[in-house]
Structure 1
Amino acid sequence: MNILVTLPAGPQRDVLFPSDVASRLESVGIVDWNDDDQLTSAELRERLRGVDVCVTGWGSPTLSADVLDGADSLELIGHVGGSVTSIASPAVYERGIPVVSANRAMAPFVAEGILAYMLTALRDTTGFDAAMKNGAWPGTCERTETLFGSSIGFVGLGDVGEELLSLLAPFDPTVRVYDPYASAEDIAAFEFATMAALDTVLESSDVVSIHASKTPETLHMLDAELLSMLPDGCLLVNAARGAIVDEDALVDELRTGRIRAALDVFEEEPLPESSPLRDLDDVVLGPHVAGAPTRYRLAETVIDEIERFDGGEPLENRVSRERYEHMTQDWLEAE
């Protein structure tokens, strides 16, 4: 097979394709590594001639109908990331080219990161750490809470939500899930979880975790009105996309001291130095790293799929057109 890797040479590719992973890919076929800058659409169209498998990453051009005009033998697209909405296109699906991504490979690590944020915020780990490093010996644990027996709400389910349910099981929680694209069958393996309306999820939870995709219908989905439904003392965790929450409205709620938050994603990234979130005590901040331990496993997942495809085996991480249409669309901005 002729394989094109569109990711340009540099730190990101080095992390995703360390030498052993790169060697493994080269054992599968003849690899054309992009050692130039990020390809333009015109350059990608030319590089696709004679290519059987195209491996893409963050920032790769969209495989539009125009770009695909240069693809005379393309049989598989493998994305070393999660959402493929910026990579694939309706033309890809119309031509019947399979698309695979490492979305499911990321899910357990993102879920682990969310659990870490939950426990860090509920146990006030960062608060105790800061006090101790400033010479204090905090004499109260009034802010410390627990996940055991708690009520947890999910806004969205997806692969990450399903993985998080498994991690939460030992805490014997009550979990309510709002997701118009999921059903009770998707959570049937978890007796402690039920589907519920959005207002029920928000009003009845000690912790609310966001797993929805960033789409036109979810931009600023959690606005001032919905955030006001969160009960006093509630912890809001967002490791999905920042724009799903109206950040200004969230800041207003956090300033009242009524709720807390743990945020791994923001409307603008990197988070501006002037962001008021940096000055609030009731928020734990992370630089979009919930899924960071995935690293080279993303590329390994795509290579697994390339090997399956080459061997005529079923693909395990194929992104259907329906799934593609509901995945996060990072170029969207709230008005």
Structure 2
Amino acid sequence: MPAAQPPAALFAMNPAHLPQLFPSRQMARLRELAHIDPGLVVRDFADPSVAAVLATTEVLITGWGCPPIDADALRAAPRLRAVLHAAGSVRHMVGDAFWERGITVSSAAGANALPVAEYTLAAILFAGKDAFRLRERVRAGRTFPDPTTAYPKLGNLGRRVGLIGASRVGRRVLDLLRPFDLEVALHDPHVADPEARALGAEPLPLDELLRTCDIVSLHAPDIPETYRMLDRARLAMIPDGGVLINTSRGALIDPRALTDELVSGRIAAVLDVTEPEPLPADSALLDLPNVFVTPHIAGSLGNELERLGRTVVEELERLTGDGPLAHQVHRAELAISA
């Protein structure tokens, strides 16, 4: 959207996130590119106090806590041409009326994928060393066996890792795994075999991946087709001693079946997401030595939020210049993505 004058822009999100998304250096760049009031953050598009500014807004800069941009909101913003989302999925923020209006939307989902992939890489490498379980053993027994003889099956040389889903996160994980001596498999029904191999993975049907991989990491979207994709039968396919990593969504796994498998001690898990979330205080998973639970921290947090804000600023530069957006979201993508 090249323009002679900077476009009128407006923040729409939970204002608590604004200082970390756009610290002073990013806010200064943003204000050079657009007319925007850093003190005005909309939480309700129907609020009469924002009607005048919404009526002139050309670009919405959104984030977590943005209200749905529905038909009423669109009527209140007749000049709106673009939405730049400083977070991940836009699925629940935009609907039919939005797409029918032809508004451009961009997301920082790619930037948010990086810390999730970094978390996953760390989990994979620690799992290959059995670090989570051994930490609990040391803590409980206060004993330190000779590591050169006590753990003959540990190690990441040739360890088989299976990724379920070539999402943005899944692809980032594949990139990060390239330097390591691991055997990597991928299941994604939307990725052809040659593309999977180009990504550095052996393409496999889901059941075969589960049966043949020591470590399984979930990166599929939370859509109707993936609901409970790891049910009791499929969890049972994971080899004894295998490790399941979930940084996607808890809904992809049958929670009762997962609990039964983990209580039995047959497999282990690294869970950044669960169902329900958060887990109740009396959940068996919180006390098991073979389960490592974190409170949904894999995605962008703390100083990582600036990366999301920087992505939006860079998209705004493209929007007001001559280049195409680097992170535009298209309607068709939402059927198979988060």
Instruction: Answer whether TM exceeds 0.5 for this pair.
Output: yes
Q: Percent identity?
A: 38
Aligned counterparts of 1:52 and 1:110: Cα–Cα separation in 2: 32
Seen in structure 2, the aligned counterparts of structure 1 residues 128 and 178 have a Cα distance that, compared at 3 Å, is: closer
CA distance in 2, matches of 1:146, 1:80: 39
38, 44, 47: which is aligned to 1:40? 44
Distance 1:227 1:172 in 2: 26
2:319 aligned to which of 309, 312, 327? 309
1:96–1:239 CA distance, 2 compared to 1 (3 A): same
Match of 1:85 among 91, 113, 135: 91
CA offset at residue 303 of structure 1? 1.1
Q: Give 1:275's aligned residue.
A: 283
Q: Does 2:333 correspond to 1:323?
A: yes
What SS does the corresponding residue of 2:185 show, helix, strand or coil? strand
8 Å Cα contact 2:10/2:40 also seen in 1 = no
- Once residues 143 and 33 of structure 1 are traced to their aligned partners in structure 2, the CA distance between those partners, rounded to angstroms, is 58
SS at match of 1:32: coil
CA deviation after TM superposition for structure 1 residue 41, in Å: 4.4
Q: Kindly indicate whether the alpha-carbon contact (under 8 Å) linking 2:232 and 2:254 is maintained by their aligned counterparts in 1.
A: yes
How has the CA–CA distance of structure 1 residues 325 and 190 changed in structure 2, closer, same or farther, with 3 Å as cutoff?
A: closer
Compared CA separation, residues 201 and 132, structure 1 to 2 (3 A) = closer
Shift of residue 138 of structure 1? Answer: 2.3
**Quick one: distance in 1 between partners of 2:170 and 2:25?**
32
C-alpha deviation, 1:197, in angstroms: 1.1
Task: Could you tell me which runs of 5 or more consecutive residues in structure 1 were left unpaired when the two chains were aligned.
Answer: 329-335
Kindly provide the amino acid, as one letter, of the partner of residue 327 in structure 2.
N
Query: By how many angstroms is 1:18 displaced?
Result: 1.7
Matched residue type, 1:57: G
Cα offset, 1:131, TM superposition: 5.5
Alpha-carbon shift at residue 162 of structure 1 (Å): 1.2
The alignment of Structure 1 onto Structure 2 pairs a total of residues equal to 325
CA RMSD of the aligned region, Å? 2.2
2:178 counterpart SS class: helix
Contact kept, 8 Å, 1:5 with 1:34, in 2: the verdict is: no
Secondary structure in 2 matching 1:93: helix
Say whether the 8 Å CA contact 2:263–2:284 is kept in structure 1.
no
What residue in structure 2 maps to residue 22 of structure 1? 27
1:91 deviates by 2.0
> Conserved in 2, the CA contact under 8 Å of 1:65 and 1:92?
yes
Structure 2: any 5+ residue segments left out of the alignment?
1-6
Other-structure match for 1:54? 60
Is 2:13–2:67's contact at 8 Å kept on the other side of the alignment?
Answer: no
1:295 partnered with 2:280: no
The Cα shift of 1:187 comes to 2.9
Change (3 A) 1:307 1:237: same
Which of 153, 171, 175 pairs up with 2:162?
153
Is the deviation greater in 129-138 or in 236-245?
Answer: 129-138
Q: Give the equivalent residue in structure 2 for 1:285.
A: 293
Does residue 254 of structure 1 match 2:259?
no
Using the alignment, how far apart are the partners of 1:65 and 1:78 within structure 2? 18
- 2:172 is matched with 163
AA at the equivalent of 1:171 = F
**Larger deviation: 146-155 or 223-232?**
146-155
2:219 counterpart of 1:214: no
2:183 matches 1:174: yes
Q: Deviations along 1:242-290, whole A, 9 cap, x unmatched? A: 1111122101001111111111111233332222210111011111111
Shift in alpha-carbon separation, 1:130–1:292, aligned structure 2, 3 A: farther
Q: Which residue of 2 aligns with 1:331?
A: none
Partner of residue 333, structure 1? none
When the two structures are superposed, what TM-score results if normalisation uses the length of structure 1? 0.89
